[in-house]
Amino acid sequence: MRRLTLVGVTGLALLAGVAAAQDAGGTHASAVDFYHGVAVRDPYRWLEDGQDPAVKAWVAAQNARSRAYLDGLPDRAGIAGALTWIEAHRSVAFGGIEQAGGRLFAFESVPGAQQPRLVAMPLAGPQAADPAAATVVLDPLKLAGDGSVTIDWFVPSPDGSLVAVSLSANGSEDGTLHVFEVATGREVEPPVAHVQYPTAGGSLAWTADGKGYWYTRFPGDEAPESERHFNQSAWFHRLGAPHADDVPVLGARDGVPRTGEIFLSNPEGAGRALASVQLGDGGAWQHFLLGEAGAEKAIGYDAGVKAATLARDGTIYGIAMKDSPNGAVVRFDPGKAEPAVLVPAGELALLTGAGERAIVRAGDSLWFAAIDGGPTRLLRVPLAGGAPETVATPPVSTVSELLPLPGGDVLYKVRSYLQPSAVMRWDAAARTSVATPLAMTTAVDLSGYAVSRLVARSRDGTAVPVTLIEAKGARHDGTMPTLLYGYGGFGISSSPTLVSPMAMVWLKAGGAWAIANIRGGGEYGERWHRDGMLTAKQNGFDDFAAAAALLKARGVTGTAHLALMGGSNGGLLMGATLTQHPDIARAVLSQVGIYDMLRVELDPNGSFNVSEYGSVKDPAQFRALYAYSPLQHVRAGVRYPAVLLTTGDNDGRVNPMHSRKFAAALQDAARASGNRAPVLLRTSAKAGHGMGSSLDEQVALTADGEAFLFAQLGMRLQPVH
């Protein structure tokens, strides 16, 4: 979704027509759309065109109004200072770890740096996985000192001599592929544009000899603007050859849909690469084996395989949902159509993150993880199958970034709410896990806080996990300032991870931090996801309201002391919650949210979201979308909570027009009701959906949001050290 292009309303065949009328203010035309015989009025259609001078002037006025309010808050500058101090007084952090040629490659986030950089360090020997031995491979700050350029992803060649990198600017996620020599930093061949967009991401896999690679690409300037964010395909490139000679190996001709999302991998240096293709953001998966000239379908949609890995001998191991939404571990042998079941589906759901190493092979074992309401467990099983062995990890923690190493060892990251992340190494010879030097530290003392796992009951009786983080011995008299966070979409789980700098500031100021594991996420696997998507989306909103009610019933907080926060799909959650329950909380912070569910699919990434949300073209899905779409449920005369909406001009995942239209509707409602609670819109010209934002941009955004909530809940900043 790079630059978003709005398709005209007539692009939906089901719309019978568009009528123009004057809105109440008499300034801008109001549209009326017809969906399956239902007329829906849209007074804010004029705010959709972000290039319109009138819209630009409106956004500038909104920003000026918001800045005047936010800059006048007593703790805004102090919160920014506290966030900056927390960032400056932590250790170096590492993520996205890969191994090749006897070295580990990783993103290195240096305290105070505007962007993470790419580094390499020894894999074995006395300085194995030692940050002190890390050397810089690529620092994006050398490309743009203001932090406007970021590394989207990287893939080292098998011998570790080269590294392929996608770079994008200003949070756009519009990636250009570069190949650098690791030893010198020299770029070895011309770059390739548009290998990644926010719609489907991007990826790359090297050949076993490191002399070529498969990579994703989107249509270039030869395609109409409306099609450049769709039809992702995979190409093969031989190093040293002109990119004009690259060969398309996987695309529409092979059954990749217009909204297909391609994830490439070749972890063991097989003769071919594995391409895992998802239908949109929430749809089914199919898998292909790629050669240098074409593709062969290896696993079809009907197998229900969501995560897979390719072994050197051509065997594919995967997690299949065909017979159970909890997933079974299966093996596809070359030449055999039906898989062998290695681990039958059990009571716990297996993790199947898109584009992640959800299942890996190391030595004589397969490694994967199971999730239970948010926290996860690490499991291993012999290649021949059998009962999985649980590898000991801390309670209420998350395991991620599984990385097989030569000799059967495995690296993995462990995260929890009150302990910084640590990278562990499974020693295959000793059959135990040991700590590596890749452990993060923070200067903020969190020893005085505790984590509780609670259960709320949703409207239909479903048990919904809620995590509460608060000071030990906190009084539950209904007055503690509490922030409740939720997401609930795309099978993405809100799992344990070290509380953010924002949460640290919040806790130190005497507040409580809560996370609701609502349906639509993956906290109980695919069934939890399915129960909160498409026409069942309302379940997630009910779950979130139940979590808020639980916190009040237990005396943790009350309406006057409760704030809500969510972003992206979580922004939709904020919009639906405040329009359905306007008296649920005192304040709402909603970031890069989706608010007009009847228009979302007209944008490129919205088309990819159809498999998750549904389409207005389908009568039943339209009824569900219309029933909860936040924009259409703002009512004049209703007193809504104080609201801060944030967005970025370069957001290719959620069109900023959603925030503009929703802000205008809420502001009109506030005027009609005489409600003096502020409704603010903050739009950044240097940000997108949040990916790739500079540290300064992140601090400024977080400080604005937290200062807003502090002011609404009557909180005052306290020292964080």
Instruction: Tell me if 430 is assigned to some domain.
Output: no
Domain of 583, CATH number, reads 3.40.50.1820
CB 13 within 8 A of CB 617: yes
pLDDT of residue 688: 86
504 and 586 belong to one structural domain: yes
Q: What per-residue confidence (pLDDT) applies to 647?
A: 96
Classify residue 239: in a domain, yes or no: no
Do 108 and 54 belong together in one domain? no
Residues 28 and 122 in one domain: no
Whole domain around residue 72: which residue ranges?
9-84+444-713
Judgement on whether residues 52 and 101 belong to the same structural domain of the protein: no
Out of 458, 495, 568, 659, pick the active-site residue: 568
The answer to whether position 193 is within a domain reads no
DSSP 382: E
Do residue 633 and residue 709 come from a single domain?
A: yes
C-alpha 260: how far from chain center:
18
Whether residues 561 and 465 share a domain: the answer is yes
Q: In the listed set 132, 148, 178, which residue is the last one of a domain according to the structure?
A: 178
Domain assignment of residue 299, yes or no = no
The question of whether 91 is a catalytic residue gets the answer: no
Max CA separation in the chain (angstroms): 77
Which of 132, 158, 178 terminates a domain? The answer is 178
Where a domain ends, among 178, 203, 224? 178
Q: Do 554 and 677 fall into the same domain?
A: yes
Kindly state whether residues 593 and 653 are assigned to the same domain.
yes
With respect to residue 292, please indicate whether it lies within any of the assigned structural domains.
no
In this structure, the dihedral spanned by the alpha carbons of residues 345, 351, 352 and 358, taken in order and rounded to 10 degrees, is -110
Catalytic residue chosen out of the listed positions 659, 689, 693, 694: 689
Instruction: Quote the tokens at residue 241.
Output: 């050859």
CB atoms within 10 A of CB 9: 17
- The total domain count for the chain is 2
Q: What pLDDT sits at residue 23?
A: 36
Query: How high is the pLDDT of residue 354?
Result: 67
Average pLDDT over the chain reads 93
Same domain, 599 and 513: yes
Instruction: Name the token pair of 6.
Output: 């709005």
State how far the alpha carbon of 700 is from the alpha carbons of 71, 74, 76, 85, 565, in Å.
11, 15, 9, 13, 17
Q: Is 394 inside any structural domain?
A: no
CA distance 219 to 434: 46
CA distances from 315 to 184, 332, 356, 383, 632 (A): 37, 6, 19, 11, 51
Q: Which residue stretches of the chain have pLDDT < 50?
A: 1-26
Reading phi first (left if > 0) and then psi (alpha if -120 to 50, else beta), residue 463 is in: beta
Check residue 27 and give its pLDDT.
64
Is 483 a member of any domain?
yes
Tell the burial category of 475 from Cβ atoms under 10 Å away from its Cβ (0-12, 13-18, 19+): exposed
In this prediction, residue 17 carries a pLDDT of 34
Amino acid in the structure at residue 717: L
Q: Are residues 550 and 653 in the same domain?
A: yes
- 633 part of the active site: no
Q: Which residues pair with 232 in a beta bridge?
A: none
122's CB contacts (< 8 A; 6+ apart) are 102, 103, 104, 128, 129, 130, 133
pLDDT of residue 534: 98
146 and 73 assigned to the same domain: no
pLDDT of residue 6: 25
Of 494, 260, 271, nearest in space to 375 by CA: 494
Report pLDDT digits (tens) over 562-592.
Answer: 999 999 999 999 999 999 999 999 999 999 9
Residue 650 lies in a domain: yes
**Do residues 453 and 584 share a domain?**
yes
- Residue 83 in 3-state DSSP? helix
Closest CA to 99 of 41, 42, 170, 157: 157
